[in-house]
Amino acid sequence: MGRVRTRKPIKLLSLVVVSVTLVILSSNWGSEVIALPPPDDTPEEILRTKIIIEARSPIDGKLLTAAEYIQLQAQIQLAPPPKLDLKIREQIFLLRVRKTLLQFFPFLNF
């Protein structure tokens, strides 16, 4: 009868040790790989020193060379875009006010 009582705690202890070991091993299985960046990724320090020779157009998003970008910026400064009609600007303002009010008072349905 004494052996039966000593086997239960030993079985329980061995089960706990095996379970804890499996949990620890499974939780650390791929963490080293996840923490590292991909090998073909360019380091940020190198990207900061890279001279940018291409740009995107602020109008349509097309790729431009540096010279084309400077030329486009000069054209935009010389001839600014036309302003909206006063009624349209007022409608946009009222829509923005309405959106803000609905964020604070969602139960209002106007």
User: Would you say residue 109 has pLDDT above 70?
Assistant: yes
* pLDDT value of position 27: 75
* pLDDT value of position 34: 64
Secondary structure (DSSP) of 56-72: E-TTT--EEEHHHHHHH
pLDDT-derived band of residue 4, with 50, 70 and 90 as boundaries?
low
d(CA 73, CA 103): 37
pTM over cut 0.85? no
Percent helix, strand and coil across the chain, each rounded to 5?
65, 5, 30
* Cβ pair 98, 110 in contact under 8 A: yes
Task: Identify the CA nearest to 69 among candidates 51, 55, 53, 79.
Answer: 55
Within-domain flag for 2: yes
* pLDDT value of position 32: 58
- Residue pLDDT, tens place only, 13-70: 888 999 988 888 777 666 555 667 788 888 888 888 877 777 888 888 888 888 888 8
In angstroms, the Cα distances linking 43 to 13, 47, 55, 89 are: 48, 7, 21, 45
Instruction: Look at the chain and report how many structural domains it folds into.
Output: 1
Domain span holding position 23: 1-36
